[in-house]
A and B are shown apart, each in its own frame.
Chain A
C-alpha cells in the first residue's frame, strides 16, 4: 500500500472497477459542467409539459415543463452531497467508536451491545423514526442516516482494530511505552485506511438509496428539495403517461450506487487476496 500509484493500477486492472470509476468520473463532470450547456432547470414551459425524450429535451420534460436532464444534473448535486456527507459523518463517528471498542476492553462490551441493538432496526425503519423526530429536511436526513450507518462502520473498524492490536509491531510499540493516542495515530490509523475507504464508498451508496427511499415515503428531505429520490417520488402520478420521469432519476441512482459499490468491492478484494478472482 506504500505506493499509491501501484495500488491504483491494481485496482483499475479489473474491468468492472474501471467501468465504475469512469462512470463516477463522468457523473462528477456532468454535475460540474452540465449547467453550462443544459437549459435552466427552473425554467417552466407549460406548452412543453410531459414531453418524451427528444434532441431538445434529452430526458424529456416533467409535469410542469421542466427539462428533466437539467433537473437530473441539479438533483445530482443534492443527492451526491447528501450521500457524501452521510458517508463522511458515519465513517468518522463509526471509526472513533470502533477504535474505542477495539482498544479499550472495558468499553468493548457495552459499545458492541449498543451497536447490536441499533442494527436490530432495519436501516430504512430507523431512518423513518429518526426523521420523524428531527423533522423532514436535507440536514436532518443526513444526521438521521449517519446515525443509522455509524454502527455498521463501528463494527467493521472494531474487527480490524482487534486484528491490528495483536500485530507484533503494535505490541512491540506498546511494550516500549508508546502511549495510546500516538499508537492509534501512527500505527493503527494508517492500517485502517483501506477498510475505511471501503466503508466510505459503501455507506455513500447505501445513503443514496436510503435517502431516495425516505423521500419516496414522504419522510425525507421534503418535496421541494430536488434530489433524485424526490424526483422519482414526484413521478408516480404520471408513471403511466410519462415513464421517463420515473426511469431517468432512478437510473441515475442505480448507476451511482452501483459504481460506488463496485469501487468499494474492488478495494476490499485488494485487501483480502483470498476473495480476489484470478488476474
Chain B
C-alpha cells in the first residue's frame, strides 16, 4: 500500500471499491438475465407452435411470430424482454391467468417467513456448536460437532421432513401434517404450520454456520489481543464471549446472510414436502405445468435476490473492514 491512500480524501478511498463492486454486481445480474432468458427459451421451444397447436398453417405461424416479435433476431428479442422486465412487466401466467409479478408476490410471504425462521434455527444450532468446537479444538466435542454437522449436510431434506411428519405430526399430533392453514389463519396458526419445516430446513443448513463460526473463532483466538486479555487475568468466559465472539460477529453475520439468501430459493424441496405455498413450490408446479412465464419470473427473482443480498454483504464488508477497502 502506498502512502497516497492515507492522505487522499475519504470519499475517494470509498468511491472506487464501491463502484467496482456495484459494476460487478450489475454484470452478474445481466448475465443472470441472459441465463434465465436462454434457459426458458430452450425449455419452451417455439411458443407460437405451442400456442397454435399442430393444426395451424405455415402462414398462421408466420403471422403469429411476427405479431409476438419472434421473427426478430434473438438478441433483439432478449433486449425487448429485458426492457419489459426492467419496467416490472414479467408477463402473464399461462396456467393461473394472472400477471406473473402478482403470482410471485403472493408467494413471497410463506417463503420469507420460512427462511427467516429456518435461519433462526440454524443460528441457534450453528453458532454455539461452532463456538464450542473452536474453544475445545481437537477434543471429542470438536470431532462430534463436525461429525454431526456433516451428518446434517448429508440428509435429504425430504427424507428428514417425511420422517418427522410421520413421527411428530401423524404420530404424536404436535404439528399439522402439511400446508399453510386456512387463508384467514392467524399468525400463531401460520407459525404452527411453519415450525416443523423450519426445524428441518434449519437443522440441515446449520453446517455452514458451524464451520464459519469455528473458523472465525479459531482465527481470533490466535490474535495478540486475546493473549493480552488472558494475560491481564480476565476469566476465560469473558475472554471468549466478550472479546472473541464480538470480533467474530462480522463473519457470523455474513454467513447468516448467505444462508438466508440460499434458503429463499433453495427451500424448493422442503416447501414441496410440507406443501407450503412458497416460491420454490411455485417453480416446481410451474415446471410440471410448463408455465414458462412463471418459471422465467421466479428464476429471475430468486437469482436476483441472491445476487443483491451477496452484493449488500460485500458492501457491508467494505464498510466494516478497512483492510478490504484499501487492499
Q: Is the interface of A mostly helix, strand, loop or mixed?
A: helix
Decide: B303 and A277 in contact? CB cutoff 8 A. Answer: no
Q: Does A209 interact with chain B (Cβ within 8 Å)?
A: yes
Q: Does A29 interact with chain B (Cβ within 8 Å)?
A: no
Q: What 0/1 pattern do residues 236 to 250 of B give for CB contact below 8 A with A?
A: 000000000000000
Decide: A254 and B266 in contact? CB cutoff 8 A. Answer: no
- Chain B, 155-185, CB within 8 A of any chain A CB: 155-160, 162-163, 165-166, 170
* B residues near A239, Cβ cutoff 8 Å: 162, 165-166
* Nearest Cβ on chain A to B178's Cβ, whole angstroms: 11
Decide: B146 and A247 in contact? CB cutoff 8 A. Answer: no
- Chain B, 31-85, CB within 8 A of any chain A CB: 31-32, 34-35, 39-40, 42-43
Partner of B143, one of A15, A121, A122: A15
Count A interface residues, CB 8 Å: 49
* B residues near A265, Cβ cutoff 8 Å: 146, 150
Partner of A116, one of B28, B265, B283: B28
Partner of B287, one of A16, A129, A229, A240: A129
Q: Does A114 interact with chain B (Cβ within 8 Å)?
A: yes
Whether A129 touches B147, Cβ cut-off 8 Å, given contacts A120-B28, A205-B154, A217-B268, is no
Q: What 0/1 pattern do residues 257 to 274 of A give for CB contact below 8 A with B?
A: 110011001000000001
Decide: B137 and A277 in contact? CB cutoff 8 A. Answer: yes
- Chain B, 250-278, CB within 8 A of any chain A CB: 262, 265-266, 268-269, 272
Whether A262 touches B150, Cβ cut-off 8 Å, given contacts A213-B157, A277-B142, is yes
Q: Does A38 interact with chain B (Cβ within 8 Å)?
A: no
Q: Does B299 interact with chain A (Cβ within 8 Å)?
A: yes
A232 to B155, CA, bound (A): 12
* Nearest Cβ on chain B to A52's Cβ, whole angstroms: 14
Q: Does B126 interact with chain A (Cβ within 8 Å)?
A: no
Q: Does A203 interact with chain B (Cβ within 8 Å)?
A: no
* A residues near B233, Cβ cutoff 8 Å: none
Q: Does A118 interact with chain B (Cβ within 8 Å)?
A: yes
* A residues near B27, Cβ cutoff 8 Å: 113
* Nearest Cβ on chain A to B44's Cβ, whole angstroms: 9
Nearest-CB residue, chain A, relative to B159: A250
